Amino acid sequence: MAEITAAATVKELRERTGAGMMDCKKALGETGGEMEAAIDWLRTKGLAAAAKKAGRTAAEGLVGVAVGGNRGAVVEVNSETDFVAKNEQFQEFVRTVAELALTGSGNVEGLAAASWPTGGTVQEKLTSNIATIGENQSLRRAAVMQVNDGVVVSYVHNAAAAGLGKIGVLVALESTGDKSKLEGLGKQLAMHIAAANPMALTGEELDPSLVDRERGIAMEKASESGKPVNIVEKMVEGAIAKFRKENALLSQLFVMDNKTKVEDVVKAEAKNAGAPIELKAYVRFQLGEGIEKKESDFAAEVAAASGVNKPQDKPEADAA
């Protein structure tokens, strides 16, 4: 592993786990440099918090949201640098794509083929932007949600402009109650989701592979305690129950007071709205999550392109 890559990997592991540098180096050494395995190794040794920091951006661009009637849409459009995210042409593209997504199903291929307001398709407009802005861009993903009676509320964290930012959230509340009350509740819930990053609506809906992974970590930690098998099993089940509770939206503690469960907040607000409220669904997009950013030596690339050697690569002068 090249030195710069190793340094970057250690830095990423520290950011994602909060563990010390030497512990991160040891974890990577023990796991052959595999990031996810190193995280599990640190957690097994009690050296890393369970907090999910994998959302740290690994790509640039913008997340855009749009709401119309009883529907909401969120899209992610990536670029190579943050400079493009500040470009008005790029921002207008993302904003328009989010609005166009309102009439679709959340399918990226279908959205790319949708008609652009001034002619052509979304993909053709994107291709034109790449040529004029001079940087690669891609329409990465989209999601749409709808309610029969109620509201879909949007929220953008770290907003770069209206409806555009680094994190975009949609919340769908089904209810016949006061729409203004629902809007207020939806905004607070969306802010909670942006901050707490739940993995599913309920504990039962968590990805089974995530639960199995957590169970393996809990089993290894409990086994190291030296306690009897029956106690170890109870420790593991307790850890899994805690994992489900902390990572499912409805059972999380509401960030506004850090003591009331989200499901209880929704039930309480039903009295103010004048009708039962169902938190039907949510979606959260964080810019770049799940994308691995390629590490590069910009100085070396420029030098190579210009045919100039870096100082340490200069050949020694011929002997006189």
**pTM, entire model:** 0.72
Q: Is residue 315 part of a domain?
A: no
Residue 53 confidence (pLDDT): 35
Residue 5 confidence (pLDDT): 57
| Average predicted confidence (pLDDT) for the chain | 84
Q: Is residue 218 part of a domain?
A: no
Residue 88, CA atoms < 13 Å, CB-side half-sphere: 0
Query: Which structural domain, as residue segments, surrounds residue 104?
Result: 60-196+279-286
163 and 86 belong to one structural domain: yes
Low-confidence ranges of the chain (pLDDT < 50): 1-4, 49-58, 295-320
Q: Is residue 150 part of a domain?
A: yes
Q: Is residue 32 part of a domain?
A: yes
Question: Taking the CA atoms of the chain, what radius of gyration do you get in angstroms?
Answer: 24
Residue 180 confidence (pLDDT): 95
Residue 47 confidence (pLDDT): 65
Output b/e per residue, 19-33; b: 16+ Cβ within 10 A.
beeebbbbbbeebee
68 and 129 belong to one structural domain: yes
Q: Is residue 128 part of a domain?
A: yes
The values of phi and psi at residue 138, to 5°, are -150, 140
72 and 190 belong to one structural domain: yes
Q: What is the pLDDT of residues 27-63, one digit of tens each?
A: 899 999 998 888 888 878 766 643 343 333 337 999 9
Distance CA 232, CA 40 (A): 19
CATH number at residue 40: 1.10.8.10
Residue 224 confidence (pLDDT): 82
Distance CA 62, CA 64 (A): 6
Q: Is residue 31 part of a domain?
A: yes
79 vs 37, 41, 83, 177, 197, CA distance in Å?
Answer: 29, 33, 9, 41, 24
Residue 2 confidence (pLDDT): 44
Output b/e per residue, 261-280; b: 16+ Cβ within 10 A.
ebbebbeebbeebeeebebb
The three-class DSSP label of residue 50 is: coil
Q: Could you say which of 12, 27, 49 is where a domain stops?
A: 49
Q: Is residue 80 part of a domain?
A: yes
Residue 55 confidence (pLDDT): 35
